[in-house]
Amino acid sequence: MTFPKKIFNKQITEFSKLSTNTIRLLAVEAIAKAKSGHPGIALGAAPIMYALFRNHLKINPQDPFYFNRDRFVLSAGHGSAMLYATMLISGLESIKMDDLKNFRQLNSKCPGHPENHILPGIEVGTGPLGQGIAMGVGMAIAESKLANKFNKYGKFIDHHTYVLFGDGCLEEGVGQEAIALAGRLKLNKLIMLYDSNKIQLDGKVHDSTNYNVKKMFETYKWNYIKVKNANNTNQVANAIARAKLSQYPTVIECNTIIGFGSRLQNTNAVHGSPLNSEQIQELRSNLNYKVDSFEIHPSVREDMSILRKRGIEAQRQFNLALQKLESKDINLYNQYMKLNQNQFNFTWDWYKNYQVKPEIATRNLMSDVLQPALENNSTFFAGAADLTASTLITARKSIAFNDHNKDGQNIYYGVREFAMAAINNGITIHGGCRAITSTFLSFSDYNKNAIRLAAISHIPSINVYSHDSLTVGEDGPTHQPIEQIPTLRLIPNHFLFRPANLTECELALSHAIRSVDHPTTIITSRGNVKQYPSSLDDAKFGGYVIYPIPKHQINIIATGSEVPIAIEVSELLKNKGIKARVISMPSVELFESQGTNYKETILDGKPIVSIEFASTAPWYKYADFTIGINQFGKSGKPADVLDYFDLTPTKITDKIINWYQTK
């Protein structure tokens, strides 16, 4: 597509120079006051921030979360001081000068990297490089999906997603994984601004990297625009205006100078070390900046007032479009109102006539449980990292979501586990959409950092992992998860479910859909699991007695695939004169959230044995004797592997007897 050279014709004025330099100095002086931070990006990329916020970004400072706003993601999250300074001069009411003065201090609204749940106006938490790119892709997917659903009577949902990123974000694999998928999906409402300064923390970019950015993005089917001098804010603004006309996602490479105006400019020394007072005075002189520290000149407020006016008008137009939708299609209007509150459909009645097989893999159960949720929530996505046929997380009655099938609910992520989980975060935090992604449990390490960031950011994303234990057999230790379940459980503000039966699968999905402030992980099996039914009234506590034994002597705690094994062990023990009741604990986190009285009723003071075919260390919190595996597995028939590691019901029974008799 051919673009005109100039679309946006605003001239560079003393206003724009002063506003840009105000971003620079506010950020640099906040960093100096904190004695910690990254001045390099603030001095170099401030013109990009000014050009975007002053001339394009569609947000309302008085209502930073109105639904049809543009989304901005600072993927280079170490530039947080620059973002806070930009928000401050833009008039966002959620941030005050005192907040900026407390940059990086305990309980400040301006932490060292952006955190969305702390400061309204921050769309998502960033910091681990590259994930902001992927979350931006997820947001653009959500916008595309919602526009397709609701724009029946005009442009109701119509906004852009902007991402500012640097070389570190581009070098991280998650960034390139997401970029490739965005090009395939032709997400033309996604505009990424590349802070291209040829410097990174260890030195020059070319010391480690020699890719051609233009060719790389064009290979991925992106529109590429070059701004040779990003200090010319009019060139940046014009490039953004051109990008809005593209039929493809756009990257704008903006040549910047890291640490611009300081004596350390264009060196890696200015990346992450505060400037001292002498260097700041020199910077002020070089920029001819005469405004007092932590002050905003009235002309800057006047210059940036256009953002407020633009945002208020955009929200007014959106409200008019909402009224039109209500008058034209009350059903569609009501759907939007629910989605605006992130209320998604779920009812237990979906499953009242479901006939469960005597033995079934929980991946099959989870897939069955998922179907009515997908059919009754058209803005739900399902997908896998090229493993749909194995994880079974798919919308069976839907089609692929892509550039010409926006009605589709299935996203084909390809073998991109990390990006998949991070894109899921973007889809979810956007609002109005949810995503359920999946891969093998042994590959969870590829996307664990995205789950961690979701937990920090209070994003209720949903990740499903199948092939849960040694019983995957022949694929060997690379595919036999040992430590993954315990390490996932270690993530704060995160709930993990390992269901054993239909009720526990329903519970896991219900919890995940209804969550508003934490991610949920669901673990499923490849092998068949004998079904022992339970009631929701019991299972909803996260840990409950699934197999009672009168006058029991010991308790056995088990999860998921090991629950029927524990019940078989209980029967074998009974024949040996030991009475053991079985506790199913599909979610340790849910169980821990219960009151003390309930937990003490379940953990009743009798000796406890845990059975989970994974690392045993975490179970010592409850158990007196643990049964699991603390080494990598073996390749072989599932039954042979379990026998090799003494994890058959008979051998487990013998272990418990020996322990119980000598304790």
- Residue 374's identity, in one-letter code, is L
In angstroms, what CA-CA distances link 469 with 401, 466, 487, 499? 32, 9, 14, 13
- Kindly give the pairing relationship between strand 580-584 and strand 544-547: antiparallel
CB 381 within 8 A of CB 427: yes
What six digits make up the tokens of 515?
A: 């969550």
Strand, helix or coil at 501?
coil
Question: Phi-psi region for residue 577, left (φ > 0), alpha (ψ -120 to 50) or beta?
Answer: left
Length of the chain: 663
Distance CA 659, CA 81 (A): 58
The rounded distance, in Å, linking the Cα atoms of 339 and 458 is: 18
Handedness of CA 145, 151, 156, 158 (dihedral sign): positive
* Residue of 253, 417, 568, 589 marked catalytic: 417
- 324-358: burial string, b at 16+ Cβ within 10 Å, e else: ebeeeeeebbebbeebeebebebeeebbeeeebee
CA 52 vs. chain centroid, Å, equals: 25
Is residue 14 among the annotated active site residues? Answer: no
The answer for residues whose C-beta is within 8 angstroms of residue 17's C-beta and 6 or more apart is none
DSSP conformational letter for 483: S
CA distance 656 to 627: 9
d(CA 109, CA 102): 8
- For 318, counting Cβ atoms within 10 Å of its Cβ (0-12 exposed, 13-18 middle, 19+ buried), the class is buried
Rounded to the nearest 5 percent, the helix, strand and coil shares of the chain are 45, 15, 40
Question: What is the CB-side half-sphere exposure of residue 219 using CA atoms within 13 A?
Answer: 8
* φ, ψ dihedrals at 236, nearest 5°: -65, -45
Q: What is the CA radius of gyration of the chain?
A: 27
Contact yes or no for 173/130 (Cβ under 8 A): yes
**DSSP per residue, 323-356:** HHHHHH-HHHHHHHHHHHTT-----GGGGTT---
For 392, phi then psi, to 5°, come to 65, 20
Active site residues: 417
